[in-house]
Each structure stands twice: as structure tokens, then as C-alpha cells.
Amino acid sequence: MSHASDLSRPGAAGAAAPITTNSGHRGLDLEEPLIFEQDAPGRCGVDLPEPPELAGRLGGLERQAPIGLPGLTEPQVVRHFVRLSRNNFAIDAGLYPLGSCTMKHNPRLNEKLARLPGFADLHPLQPAETVPGALQLIDELAQWLIALTGMPAVAMSPAAGAHGELCGLMCIRAALEAAGDAREVVLVPESAHGTNPATAAVCGYRIEEIPADGRGRVDLAALTERLDPTVAAIMLTNPNTCGLFETDIVEIAEAVHQAGAYFYCDGANFNAIVGRVRPGDLGIDCMHLNLHKTFSTPHGGGGPGSGPVVLSAALAPFAPLPMLVRGPDGPRLAEHATEADGTAASFGRMKAFHGQMGMFVRALAYILSHGGDGLRQAAEDAVLNANYVLAELQDQMSLSFPGPCMHEVLFDDGFLKDTGVSTLDFAKAMIDEGFHPMTMYFPLVVHGAMLIEPTESESKASIDQFIASLRHLVERAKAGDAALFAGAPYLAPRRRLDETQAARKPVLRWTPPAEEAAAE
């Protein structure tokens, strides 16, 4: 496999001889062995006094052998992790148009508030009576989520979107079981995010796919035909994963309810409609919210997620414990199933503690700093930015479902036909242009999907730069410059992996080029 220090671009205009360095470094982009390979036994970052005699204090449970931590100095450790962080692309480094994931800016004000000692130093095992301020904050966030979605209740404990789906389907199953109604099927549109069928399967349901129509929406006729007393629920994303609003959603909700089934809405794309549409008005029964998408809390390695689930009055009694309840003395955590708290029918506990406090603080800070009008503007700007990308690229790239989009635009690979360039090649070439690729090959309803979500937090200047790079790449692909794509990325710290080899024979060690040459 070629090294990161190989800067040649075979076939590109004016290709030079490969530039290799003796060190393996590329400019100030530094290579190094794994941290365990840097181990020097006995080396340590701090001078610790000899430990006192502990023999016997643990009753024979003392560790018998070293635990295998590498011996390193403090500067080695700091450099190692700083170098790794420099190889890691993040929203703080540049435009990150990963469709469906909503990689928007994480405002620093939110970070500052989440680090206030009164929130940051809470211990999850602290008695709930000692943290009334935290409960107040969770309650205030809950009231915002209730107001924004138009739903009567919210379970705050789920830890992410997929966990929220699990929470919602467990509520649905509990409600059906309480009514003595054993239904076995969950309907999922073919464009669904993979977590939807996975969640339904984990809950013991059989999954059946509902096809999309020619407009990239759920085929209403196919859906209504399939609805019968075996169907427990439908799981639908709105706006859907093609970046399109499900225009038949009210009819869908009515048909689902007429069949005695529940309507789970996947709310991962709520950022497109906040302040414009209240999902509760559309007839949904439950929906998760990804605080780390819609409300800007960090994700993708930047922090834990949080997936509160809003619930209809029919499903709220089955919500998980602990549940925040409002009493005469303010909000309180109901830890147990009791009639008095309205938690007697709860399906139980799905998480050790009550939610992700740091994410609650960040999300509420985001909501309060925007206000209702600012949240609506964020949604409108996200839709505007995606439609700007669509308008500027639709003459060069191809759309399976023409027409305006919501907060993300879905291209297919039709424009790459006969160029020898695949969606994967195109995405890798974007890295050389300094852009994280869009979401590729998802959703599955279009061939070679490229799903672009610019988010509202990108400026026009940065989106223009992005559009210019994409137009350039499309032109190069159509001009037959296949070599520009075949080996891309050429300029990233790591080149393209041979995915088969990487899975079968992973190379987990780094060899300096000089040693590699000697071995060959």
C-alpha cells in the first residue's frame, strides 16, 4: 500500500515524481508508531513515591501482573493525542455535509454552560433531592420539546436516536399488550435509516418494507393496502431520508390509526421543520429527537448523544423510569412504578441514570439563545442552504426526485454514467478538495446516493467554495480524468484503504518508510 508521503498524482496534469521523505512525515503532518510501540518499560510521566506496603489489604485480590500500559513521558502522550486529533476531521475544522447527520456548529456558549461546576460536577449517584436545579433544567428543556413538537409528554432518558426508537417501540408494545392486542409486524419504508428496522427487530417484530413512489415519498396506496390487524406500527421519517417532506403524512396517520396501529415518527430530521411544523398536529404517536442533531450538541466522537422521546397521551403512561414528574414542590424524579406518579404502567428502566445531563444543558442553552423565532430561522436557513446547493448543482449532477428539497439534497450517480467514476471515487476526491464527503449510498432508494446536508451554520462563502469544488470534480469526471478519482484521496494523511484487505488482514503497526524499504 502506498504511503502517506507519496504525493504524486498519477495521470494528473503535470504529474511530478513521487515525493517521499526519509522520516515518513509530510511537511508538518507527523507520523509516529502506535503508542504501545513507543513503550519504554519503567518510563513514566510523573515521579511517584514508592507505594506503601499494601500486601494483604485486598485479601488476596491484588493484581498479580502489570496491566500492560506503555511507559511514556508526558510530552510523548501529549504529542501523540494532539497528532491524532489533527488527523481527525471535525465540524470545527471545516464544512461537513454528511447528510442525515446534521453536522452543525456547536456554539461555544453551550460548552461554557455545560462546564459550570453545578452541572458538570453532579454525580449520577447523588440523591435526586440534592439536585433540584438540575431537575428544573431538565423540566424546562422538556417543556420546550413538548411545545415545539405539540406532544403532551416526553421521556428524557434515552441516550441517542436509536435508543429513543427502542423507547418508543417499547411503549407501543406495552400499550398493545395492555390492550391484549398481540400484533407482530412493523412497517418501514424502503428509504428508512437502518436503525428503524433494527429497533423493530430487537423488539421482536417482523419487518415489512413499504415501497417509495416515483416522488421519493411513501407509496400511500401500497401502505393502506398492507395495513391490517397484524400491524403494530409504522416507523416513518419526516422529512424523510431523501430530504423530502412526506406530503401524505396526515392521510398516513389516519390510515394507520384506523387499522389500530401506532405511528412512530423518526425525528432525526426535525431540524428542517422546528418552529414551522408541530409533529403532534400531524397525528404521530411518538417521535425521538436527536439533541445532538437538531439542537447542536456535539456528536460523532465529540460527545454522547441524547434522544428524548415525545409521546401521545395514549403512550405516555408506558414511558420508561425514571420519569420526570411535576409535583407541588417542582419537578421530581419518579424512580418507581406507582399509581400516584402515573407511572404504574411503565415498561421499566432502560438506562441506569436519567439521561445525559451535559447534553440537556447544551440543548437548553441552544434553545434559549435562539428563542422560538431563532429556532424557526435556523430551520428555514438549513432548508435554504440545501436548496441553494441543489439549484447550483442540478445542471451538472443528477436527481432521482427533481424539485425543491428540505434540509438536505439527494443526488444519484446518473451524472457519473460512463465516466468510470463511482460515488465512492467521487466522495474520496472531495477529501483532496478539503471537504468531508457527503453521505454515500444512503438512502438505498436511489442508485449511488449522495446525500448533502450543509446545515444552517455554513456561510454563503463556504457553501460557494463547496459548490465550486463539486462543479470542478464533476467536470473532471465528465472529461475522462478517471485517474484523479481512482486513487483519491492523494492528499489526506491516509490514502484509500483496500477495504477487503483491511477487513481480512488489518495492518495495525506503522513501519517507517526506511525500514519498509529495507524489508522489501
Q: List residues near ligand PLP by CB under 6 A.
A: 100, 160-162, 193, 195, 237, 241, 266, 268, 290, 305, 307
32-34-40-41 Cα dihedral, nearest 10 degrees: 170
Rank residues 305 and 331 by Cβ distance to ligand PLP and give the closer one: 305
- Per-residue cell: 486: 481512482
CB of 355 to ligand PLP, least distance (A): 13
SS (H, E, C) 310-351: EECCCCHHHCCECEEEEECCEEEEECCCCCCCCCCCCCCECC
Please state, in angstroms and rounded to a whole number, the distance separating the CA atoms of residues 155 and 319. 6
In the complex with ligand PLP, which residue's Cβ is closer, 260 or 304? Answer: 304
Which parts of 60-104 fold into alpha helices (H)?
Answer: 74-86
Query: Which whole-number Å values give the CA distances from 283 to 37, 251, 254, 304, 461, in the listed order?
Result: 58, 9, 7, 30, 40
Task: Return the C-alpha cell found at 452.
Answer: 448533502
Output the smallest distance, CB 307 to ligand PLP, in A: 6
Cβ closer to ligand PLP: 160 or 410? 160
9 neighbors 488 (Cβ within 8 angstroms):
no
Can you tell me which residue has the cell 404502567? 345
**Residue of 223, 222, 183 whose CA lies nearest to 206:** 183
Least Å distance, CB 347 to ligand PLP, is 19
Alpha-carbon gap, residue 116 to 209, rounded angstroms: 47
Please check whether residue 450 is in contact with residue 428, taking contact to mean a CB–CB distance below 8 angstroms: no
Least separation in angstroms between CB 98 and ligand PLP: 10
CA nearest 19: which of 496, 490, 494, 519?
A: 490
Q: CB nearer to ligand PLP: give 305 or 355.
A: 305
Q: Which cell is 112 given?
A: 461554557
Q: Which is nearer to ligand PLP, 194 or 403 (CB)?
A: 194
In terms of Cα–Cα distance, which of 332, 323, 316 is closest to 353? 323
Q: Whole-number minimum distance, CB 218 to ligand PLP, in Å?
A: 14
Nearer to ligand PLP, 161 or 322 (CB): 161
30-58 burial, b if ≥16 CB within 10 A, otherwise e? ebbeeeeebeeeeeeeeeeeeeeeeeeee
The residue among 307, 308, 327, 332 whose CA lies nearest residue 135 is 332
Minimum distance between the CB of residue 162 and ligand PLP, rounded to whole angstroms? 3
HSE-up of 148 (CA within 13 Å, CB side)? 33
Looking at beta carbons only, is 305 or 437 nearer to ligand PLP? Answer: 305
Q: Is-contact 431 492, C-beta < 8 A?
A: yes
Q: In angstroms, what is the minimal distance from the CB of 154 to ligand PLP? A: 16
Q: How far is the CB of 11 from ligand PLP (least distance, A)?
A: 37
How far apart are CB 287 and ligand PLP at their closest, in Å?
11
Which C-beta is closer to ligand PLP: that of 241 or that of 419?
241
Our CB check for ligand PLP shows the closer of 307 and 322 to be 307
In whole angstroms, the minimum distance from the beta carbon of 519 to ligand PLP comes to 42
179 contacts 228 by C-beta, under 8 angstroms: no
Whole-number minimum distance, CB 483 to ligand PLP, in Å? 34
Tell me whether residue 5 or residue 238 sits nearer to ligand PLP (CB atom). 238
CB of 115 to ligand PLP, least distance (A): 23
From CA 220, how far away is CA 187, in angstroms rounded?
12
* Beta carbon nearer to ligand PLP, 266 or 481: 266
Task: Dig out the grid coordinates for 473 from the structure.
Answer: 470534480
d(CA 514, CA 459): 45
Measured from the CB of residue 72, what is the shortest distance to ligand PLP in angstroms?
A: 34
φ and ψ at 333, to 5 degrees?
Answer: -95, 115
Measured from the CB atom, the residue of 163 and 428 that comes closer to ligand PLP is 163
Cβ nearer to ligand PLP, comparing 262 with 485:
262
What letter would DSSP give residue 128? G
Residue 139 sits at φ, ψ, to 5 deg, of: -65, -40
Residue least distant from ligand PLP (Cβ): 161
Check: CB of residue 320 under 8 Å from CB of residue 174: no
What DSSP designation does 493 have? S
Q: What is the DSSP letter of 319?
A: P
